[in-house]
Chain A
Amino acid sequence: MTEATLQRRPLVKQILAGADDNLLVIGGLGSSNWDITSAGDRPLNMPMWGGMGAPVGMGLGLALAQPTKRVLVITGDGDMLMSLGSLATVATQQPDNLALCVLDNEKFGETGNQATHTSPRNNGPTDSGAGTDLAMVARGCGIADSATVREASQVAQLVRDLRTTKGPIFRLVKVMVEKLEFVMPPQDGAHLKDRFRQALLGHP
């Protein structure tokens, strides 16, 4: 397997470029939160500071409640591994406005870059995973439009898919392991929820 070359920060910035009121974004805890915030904090972002395993379910509940809006979940491989069943739950509903993007660096970044299950097997005594293929898991769960992105040449299509292709879609993006600055949104969960609802519904 080739080393990942895509960098998450500029990638997420491209994915979210020109985001308007029709794009509702949930960012998983840790790096994905800092990534979407680095692209520009906005009320229609719901950046998670905890709640590991929740983003896909939150995206589904939101997509069902707001069928005319695009709902985009951006999270990491560790978070996704904690809620694999939620992919099957998404598949039962087939929401055409839901896109799931997993940034897979094969590490638990917040706890010291330990290998996740998506790391290759036989990577040494402290760094081996299982080679788990999350795109294959998503397809197996019933999300037919599931694919993996590794190359810079695929990014323009990735952005179009995440923003406009009929859902549910799942994109696994292999990204580099990097040490990046924390770019933090407000932390208060009630505030984040209220500003999101205010922007979307006109009341908290």
Chain B
Amino acid sequence: MNAETSDALGNGDWRDEIFDVLKDHDIRQVYHVPDAGHSRLIEHCQRSNSIRTVPLTTEEEGIALAAGAWLGGQRSVMLMQSSGVGNTINLMGLTKTLRFPFLTLITMRGDYGEFNSWQYPMGQATPKVLEAMGVLLYSVDRAEDVRATVDAATRAAFNGGQAVAVLLRQKLIGIKNFGKK
């Protein structure tokens, strides 16, 4: 979780586009921990009548919820920060043993221009540990590529039956600067 506010978020259109893609693909459950990068998308989901938004105490819970939702016939997505990826790794194995579709959208920290040294270890390890668990990685650092990338990842997950992570790079999200507007 991250209490910092973020500037350099541009006009935010790409986050609205993610919401549209999730709706188009009939995503019904959205799991998240508080996150500045995802906050606008989370608020869209909280206001939606067709989406159930579930705040987690730790990202690990999201894997279990996604498995349960799929057992019950619903599609889900987990929104998290790269700093939470390490919390998911053991249960991420469920995506292989149960072979269920899993989609996560990850806002990157410890990435392009990060000012906070504490974010680097997990941020830099994020692609490697996800790869080690057999998660497909999609990466996007330009706003104009967000819609197509999230759409493709969603198809790979729910049509292709894969565990897929979309890395929303820090170059896209903007560099945090601790509350300076």
> Could you say which of A81-89, A117-125, A154-162 contacts chain B?
A81-89
Q: Which residues of A contact B62 (CB under 8 A)?
A: 57
Number of interface residues of A (CB under 8 A): 36
A49 CA to B74 CA in the complex, in Å? Answer: 23
Quick check: B99 and A189 within 8 Å, CB to CB? yes
User: How does the 8 Å CB contact mask read for B49-83 relative to A, with 1 for contact and 0 for none?
Assistant: 00010111110111111111111111010000000
Chain A interface helix/strand/loop/mixed: helix
Quick check: A89 and B54 within 8 Å, CB to CB? yes
User: B137 contacts the other chain (Cβ, under 8 Å)?
Assistant: no
Number of interface residues of B (CB under 8 A): 31
Q: Which residues of B contact A62 (CB under 8 A)?
A: 68-69, 71-72
Quick check: B97 and A60 within 8 Å, CB to CB? no
Quick check: B98 and A64 within 8 Å, CB to CB? no
Q: Which residues of A contact B56 (CB under 8 A)?
A: 85, 89
Quick check: B99 and A190 within 8 Å, CB to CB? yes
Quick check: B97 and A189 within 8 Å, CB to CB? yes
User: How does the 8 Å CB contact mask read for A13-49 relative to B, with 1 for contact and 0 for none?
Assistant: 0000000000010100000000000000000001001
A 34-85 contacts with B by CB, 8 A: 46, 49-51, 53-66, 69, 83, 85
Q: Which residues of A contact B67 (CB under 8 A)?
A: 51, 54, 57-58, 61, 193
A-B residue pair count with CB separations less than 8 angstroms: 120
A87 CA to B65 CA in the complex, in Å? Answer: 12
Q: Which residues of B contact A88 (CB under 8 A)?
A: 57
User: A92 contacts the other chain (Cβ, under 8 Å)?
Assistant: yes
A46 CA to B72 CA in the complex, in Å? Answer: 12
Contact flag A53-B91 (CB < 8 Å), given A65-B73, A89-B55, A92-B54: yes
CB of A46 to closest CB in B, whole Å: 6
Quick check: A60 and B65 within 8 Å, CB to CB? yes
B 14-69 contacts with A by CB, 8 A: 28-29, 52, 54-58, 60-69
A13 CA to B145 CA in the complex, in Å? Answer: 54
A104 CA to B144 CA in the complex, in Å? Answer: 53
Quick check: A92 and B55 within 8 Å, CB to CB? yes
Q: Which residues of A contact B74 (CB under 8 A)?
A: 61, 64-65
CB of A19 to closest CB in B, whole Å: 16
A62 CA to B69 CA in the complex, in Å? Answer: 5
Quick check: B68 and A58 within 8 Å, CB to CB? yes
Contact flag A200-B57 (CB < 8 Å), given A50-B93, A50-B97, A61-B67: no
A163 CA to B126 CA in the complex, in Å? Answer: 42
Q: Which residues of A contact B120 (CB under 8 A)?
A: none
Q: Which residues of A contact B (CB under 8 A)?
A: 24, 26, 46, 49-51, 53-66, 69, 83, 85-86, 88-89, 92-93, 189-190, 192-193, 196-197, 200-201
Q: Which residues of B contact A (CB under 8 A)?
A: 28-29, 52, 54-58, 60-74, 76, 91, 93-94, 97-100
